[in-house]
Amino acid sequence: MITGTHTRNRWTVIVEALIIQIVLGTGYTFSLFVKPLESEFGWNRTTQWGFYFALATFAITMIPAERLPDRLGPRGVASIGGLLLGVAFLLSAALVSASRPWVLYITYGKSVEWGSDSVTFVRSPLR
């Protein structure tokens, strides 16, 4: 027989899994920001380098990130990844300027994918 505690735990896992899936999608929303970045800062299509760095970081950090849930547990990794992702977006919003496009490459290209990458392998234990 299923008790109330088991039902609440099931819903918690479902909500956590949905949040993780939303976080995973944030790395691929870069195309939404290209035209606004170009018009705001007068940049050309070199803003695409931010997405290039994001994909390269995802590929490079995939193997170490896969081992993190074994060491820290799924919740620890999801928490660290979410925190890193949030800080990366805040830094991108606060520090990027027309004279510093490289800040976008670091904050979005590297940090966003580190945060997203660390959450990628957390969903496996949730199945």
Kindly report, residue by residue over 84-109, the tens digit of the pLDDT: 888 888 888 888 888 888 888 888 77
Distance in angstroms (rounded) separating the CA atoms of residues 58 and 52: 10
Distance in angstroms (rounded) separating the CA atoms of residues 88 and 82: 10
Give tens-digit pLDDT for 34-52. 888 888 888 887 777 878 8
Flag whether pLDDT at 78 surpasses 70.
yes
pLDDT number for residue 3: 58
pLDDT number for residue 107: 83
How many domains does the chain divide into? 1
Q: What average pLDDT does range 22-39 have in this prediction?
A: 80
pLDDT number for residue 7: 63
Distance in angstroms (rounded) separating the CA atoms of residues 90 and 111: 11
Q: What average pLDDT does range 25-37 have in this prediction?
A: 80
What global pTM score does this model have? 0.70
Cβ atoms of residues 112 and 27 within 8 Å:
yes
| Structural domain boundaries, residue 15 | 4-126
Distance in angstroms (rounded) separating the CA atoms of residues 1 and 48: 54
Residue that is written with structure tokens 């997405």 in the block: 51
